[in-house]
Amino acid sequence: MDDPAMLSAYDEYYGRVSRAQVARIAAISGLRPASVLDVGSGPGPVSLAFAELGARTFSLVDSSERALEKARLSLARFADSPGAPLSVSTAVADIESLEAIPDGGFDLVAFGHCLNEVGRGDDRVGRRLAIARRAARAVAPGGAALVMDPATLAASRDSIALRDALLAEGWTVRAPCTFPGPCPALAAGPTQTCHDEAPWDVPPEVGRLASEAGLDRDLIKMSWFILSPPPRRAEALPGEAEPRPSGGAYRVVSMPMLNKGGRVRYLLCGPGGRFPFSARRDDEAARAGGFFSLGRYELISVDEPEPREGGWGFGARTAIRRLGSLAHAGRDGIGCSDVR
Q: What is the pLDDT of residues 6-57, one digit of tens each?
A: 777 778 888 899 999 999 999 999 999 999 999 999 999 999 999 999 999 9
Separation of alpha carbons 7 and 87, rounded Å: 24
CATH of the domain at 258: 2.40.50.140
Res 333 pLDDT > 70: no
pLDDT on residue 125? 97
Same domain for 259 and 155:
no
Last residue of a domain, one of 179, 198, 232: 232
Count of domains in the chain? 2
pTM of the model: 0.85
pLDDT on residue 331? 32
SS3 68: helix
Same domain for 289 and 191:
no
SS3 29: helix
Q: Give the pLDDT band (50/70/90) at residue 226.
A: very high
pLDDT on residue 149? 98
Res 325 pLDDT > 60: no
Res 273 pLDDT > 50: yes
Same domain for 270 and 215:
no
Res 235 pLDDT > 90: no
Positive or negative, the Cα torsion across 284, 285, 286, 288? positive
Residue-range definition of the domain harbouring residue 204: 4-232
